[in-house]
Chain A
Amino acid sequence: KNEVEQSPQNLTAQEGEFITINCSYSVGISALHWLQQHPGGGIVSLFMLSSGKKKHGRLIATINIQEKHSSLHITASHPRDSAVYICAVSTNSGNTPLVFGKGTRLSVIA
């Protein structure tokens, strides 16, 4: 069992819908990342958070440390949001490797 589990694995939404992607982890962490991987393979870091909530444009990331759970929300979704969204956690400071989830493939249809 992976230490980082994401759900759903695949998600198809209509343009304009509110989207939620979930991430649960089974280890103690000091930071959690949300990453976006575009169809060509390139990866962009969306958020890094260790508590509470962060917002950037139409994207919102929340984390509940006690429940070991994070959510990524996309408001007013658009076809350009179609990508794979990856959750990753790290348990220590420094160069300790991130532990990645398998990703959630999102398709937003116009």
Chain B
Amino acid sequence: ETGVTQTPRHLVMGMTNKKSLKCEQHLGHNAMYWYKQSAKKPLELMFVYSLEERVENNSVPSRFSPECPNSSHLFLHLHTLQPEDSALYLCASSQEPQNGFLRVFGQGTRLTVV
């Protein structure tokens, strides 16, 4: 148990579906992150929420829509995805500024778009 829980662990969805990924942290952290890990590519930061406010989104396509209702929960809403969006989506949290850059990662959701 890492303290950061992601659900579901695996998801297969069609290009016309709408689904959501969920992340929950039990560490009392004040910042949460969504990362995308595609095959043979470095991890890419998608979104950062600090104190429930989005601070960075790195030009992610609008078919990915994050939501952070409180400091413990983070969602990634997905709609009309493309097959190239198939990847491992990782959530992480940290306590800023005290922890600097030390992030705790969830187990990830492996997404397949068909």
Contacts and interface: CB of A to CB of B under 8 A. Distances in A.
Interface residues of A, number: 26
Contacts of B2: 42, 44
Interface hub of B40, B44, B96, B101 (most chain A Cβ within 10 A): B101
B89 to A, nearest CB: 10
Interface string A12-33: 0000000000000000001101
A64 interface: no
B45 interface: yes
B66 interface: no
A43 interface: yes
B100 A93 contact: yes
Contacts of B101: 31, 33, 48, 90, 98
B102 interface: yes
Interface in A28-82: 30-31, 33, 35, 40-45, 48
Contacts of B105: 35, 42-45
Given A41-B107, A43-B90, A44-B105, A97 B58 contact: yes
Q: Which 4 A/B pairs are nearest by Cβ-Cβ distance?
A: A41-B108, A43-B105, A97-B45, A100-B42
Given A97-B56, A97-B58, 20 more contacts: A4-B42, A35-B105, A40-B108, A41-B37, A41-B88, A42-B107, A43-B105, A43-B108, A45-B102, A45-B103, A45-B104, A45-B105, A48-B102, A86-B43, A88-B43, A94-B96, A95-B48, A95-B55, A98-B45, A100-B44
